[in-house]
Amino acid sequence: MNKKTGTGDLGNILQRTREKRADYVSYNFSPRKNDALKTFFDLAQEFDSLADFLRICVAVPREFFEVDARLYLLNGKQQLELVCDTSHGVYAVPPAAGQYVRTAFRPYISGQSYLIPVYSTIPLEADIESESNKVRITGVFEIMPVAELTEDDKFFFCKYANRIGYNLRKKTLAHQNIQHLKFINNLVNDIEHNVIIPNMHYRYLFKQLERHINSLNDLTSMMEQYRQKSGANNQRCETIIGKIKDIKNNLNASYRDISRHHVNSSLFLESLLRRDHFEKGCFVLRRQICKLDSEIITPQLENYAKRMAMRGITIETPTDMRGEEIELNADLGLLSQVYANLFSNALKYTQRVERHNGHSRKAVAYGRRIIKDYFGPGQPGIKLNVFSTGEHIPTHEIASLFDDGFTGHNQVEDLSRGHGLAFIKYVVEMHGGQVGYEPTAEGNNFYFILPLLQSEAKS
């Protein structure tokens, strides 16, 4: 009977090896049947395409035992189709299975055919007996004529059908992975062509918009000249000039907001949609010397400042970071997104708390602390904090906070679905750092610790 192994340690594998050896002794297959299985396995590895594998499934019984074989598989509508047989080979358009062919947990005889279920994985005997929903039937294997099959032959073909199902699943997954990789490669080209390059055109459009806004200065000057030539205190001119200045100021404010948002979005697009990430199958860092406050923290905080103000959240700036420019050797785009995620969470979860002095506080704060020898002798670290007021996270949730997909008891409507903190952990660990959470007075502190450049190692 098939048994599931545990974690795959050597002891489990040795035990399963002994069990499989005993199984094959009990099977007592003839040399021809053993050769048929070995041939099947060898050819299944030799030929890569799914179509060739289907041909192998029916060709081996034909060659070794001079019987005809048909292989039926369930389609997307869970209907059985004839995909390959010894008389035709692979069907370009598979016909529907005959009425006598059905999915069943046990082999059965119909007319001159012996029909065997094909499972996606080799099932436990107990699951078959109980027709457990753990057993997934993916098709039916038909051998003809049944009159020429002994009981030993039937047992052999059941085991053979199990091998078909197991290898078919691997081939199907491999085919899906190949298609997935092709899609990703095409997607990378589409992103570069349809997203990254067009996004660069916005720089030109912003320059044009800036020139148009500045042209309002010329209009203001013209109105001033007209007022002076009129030789009188022209209230109408004064009103027009004032409105033009107001329009210009409002346009300048909107321009700065849109431009800042575009710069930030462009940074995130570039850092997330790099070709390197898709080619390697993981994030690939592009390290550079980054100024912690002016290039990373402040730009991200500015994107959330207005929204925090609208929710009554005060931003508390640390006095020990004013005018300080600590430099990090980091990926600017990815590390900026770490802070963006932390500030986004702070925006969503910050709560007002009552203080001991009778006043209330609803605030977000950030800061840093240099830790000597944190990563080893002579290897300092910098602890970077983002604090927000509110109730503490329940103790039983703390260990899972940075797990992908985890959502806490106070989860708000969020399209990220628990991915933000997992992203932070992944990026920080790629930088050789560590993440963490700690409850503090009046709220919660999320932090990460990164290696610090030796030149910045000061207390």
Quick one: average pLDDT of 4-31? 81
The pLDDT value given to residue 1: 43
Quick one: average pLDDT of 441-446? 94
Stretch (H or E) spanning 385: strand 381-389
Number of helices and strands in the chain (H, E): 12, 15
pLDDT digits over 263-303, tens only? 888 888 888 888 888 888 888 999 999 999 999 999 999 98
The pLDDT value given to residue 230: 72
The Cα-based distances of 451 to 250, 288, 383, 422, 457 in angstroms read 43, 14, 9, 20, 10
CATH of 285-456, one of 3.40.50.300, 3.40.50.880, 3.40.1050.10, 3.30.565.10: 3.30.565.10
User: E strands, 4-147, where?
Assistant: 68-74, 80-85, 89-90, 108-110, 113-119, 137-144
Lowest mean pLDDT across 28-42, 86-100, 204-218, 373-387: 204-218
Q: Is the pLDDT of residue 61 over 50?
A: yes
% of the chain exceeding 70 in pLDDT: 90
Phi, psi of 441 (to 5 degrees): -60, 125
Phi, psi of 73 (to 5 degrees): -130, 150
The pLDDT value given to residue 207: 85
Lowest mean pLDDT across 106-115, 258-267, 295-304, 413-422: 413-422
The pLDDT value given to residue 409: 66
> Which of the listed ranges 221-235, 318-332, 341-355, 396-410 does the model predict with the highest average pLDDT?
341-355
The pLDDT value given to residue 316: 94
pLDDT digits over 335-368, tens only? 999 999 999 999 999 999 998 887 899 999 999 9
Q: Distance between CA atoms of 165 and 52, rounded to whole angstroms?
A: 15
pLDDT digits over 202-260, tens only? 788 888 888 888 888 888 888 878 777 776 567 777 888 888 888 888 898 888 888 88
Task: Name 18's Cβ contacts closer than 8 Å, sequence gap at least 6.
Answer: none
Q: 394 preceded by cis ω (within 30°)?
A: no
Q: Is the pLDDT of residue 150 over 90?
A: yes
Q: Is the pLDDT of residue 377 over 60?
A: yes
The pLDDT value given to residue 191: 74
The pLDDT value given to residue 13: 85
CATH of 10-179, one of 3.30.565.10, 3.40.630.10, 2.40.50.140, 3.30.450.40: 3.30.450.40
pTM to 2 decimal places = 0.64
Lowest mean pLDDT across 23-27, 56-60, 149-153: 23-27
% of the chain exceeding 90 in pLDDT: 54
The pLDDT value given to residue 333: 94
Strand partners of residue 84: 71, 90
**10-179 shares its CATH topology with 285-456:** no
Tell me, what DSSP letter sits at residue 291? E
Q: Distance between CA atoms of 20 and 22, rounded to whole angstroms?
A: 5
180 vs 22, residue with greater confidence: 22
Lowest mean pLDDT across 24-33, 45-54, 120-129: 120-129
**Can you give the residue ranges of every domain in the chain?**
10-179, 189-271, 285-456
Reported as a pLDDT band with limits 50, 70 and 90, residue 5 is very low
Picking from 328, 327, 442, 445, the residue whose alpha carbon sits closest to that of residue 385 is 445
What is the average pLDDT score of the chain?
87
Q: Is the pLDDT of residue 123 over 80?
A: no
Q: Is the pLDDT of residue 8 over 70?
A: no
Reported as a pLDDT band with limits 50, 70 and 90, residue 4 is very low
